[in-house]
Amino acid sequence: MNDMRLRSKYEKYHRAINSLRVAVQWAPDDGNMYLDATIQRFEFCFELSWRLMRSVLAYEGIYVSTPRGTIREGWKLGLIDDAEKWLDMLEKRKLSAHVYNEVTAMDIYQRITDDYVELLSVFEQRMKERIAFY
């Protein structure tokens, strides 16, 4: 992993988190279009976040392949503050992709707006600062 590829991955993540920030400003509507769009943007953002984290770890010489392992190692390296919340986010991400019902969707939406956007935003800022030193 070189620093140019790392910066490119960060830029993709940066665009995704900005898109998610816009989505959480929408209120769920009768047809669930905004609810679905917000959840989909969260899914995309989460995927990019753990892959960026894995790339930063590889740049530091730590090689992991799974999201769970990446989160644990990212926490050890100080890339994230709360591994448990990130692991919860991982579980909700998996759930959102494989099971769909309105109650589950609303629960995930609430987690996104209440907790996950903040976690992902803090990670974005941390990556911006860290990658600037590479």
Q: Which residue ranges form the domains of the chain, and what is each CATH number?
A: 3-132 (1.20.120.330)
In this structure, is the dihedral angle defined by the CA atoms of residues 55, 95, 88 and 108, taken in order, positive or negative? positive
Burial class (CB in 10 A: 0-12, 13-18, 19+), 31: exposed
Per-residue model confidence as pLDDT tens for the chain (134 residues):
688 899 999 999 999 999 999 999 987 776 678 888 999 999 999 999 999 999 999 999 999 999 999 999 999 999 999 999 999 999 999 888 776 788 888 899 999 999 999 999 999 999 999 988 77
